[in-house]
Structure 1
């Protein structure tokens, strides 16, 4: 199973949506809560090429984007192959 990382904030509906989709796929991502900012927020922005919104999702170190991007991968039938890598 691929390593999945997700940067989230408390009370974020998009974060919850992404986490539900990953759970449905049987994935327990490494979650980084950046609600209070700090060095992990700066790390996320750097890794996500300047994107500041949450969630930001990485599969095996590859940035896949946010919640909508994850949902689009699922709709296009590409998410399973990324997760099995």
Structure 2
């Protein structure tokens, strides 16, 4: 799996959609880097600058900004998430 893109999740401690996103990725057998924006103001500013959004989670697969949990699930339903997880284009 070394050629699969890294996953980054911007999260907070009290966020049910963050938990749902992590559970879903775990069910896919994937690991991720979690960035807690409630603990790191600089990370929060970077997330907002990179995404234009203030809500969490914000999910990146490689350099691709997937969006939040609902956005990830929409890609899953459309059959476009797995290719992205595998290193292809959505």
Write the distance in 1 (CA, Å) between the matches of 2:64 and 2:50. Answer: 9
Please list every run of 5 or more consecutive structure 1 residues that lacks an aligned counterpart in the other structure.
none
Write the distance in 2 (CA, Å) between the matches of 1:75 and 1:39. Answer: 33
Q: How many pairs does the alignment contain? A: 84
Greater relative CO, 1 or 2 (CA 8 Å, sep 6+): 1
Moved segments of 4+, more than 4 Å? none
The TM-score, its normalising length taken from structure 1, stands at 0.93
1:33 aligns with 2:36: yes
RMSD of Structure 2 on Structure 1 (CA): 0.9
Partner of 1:10: 13
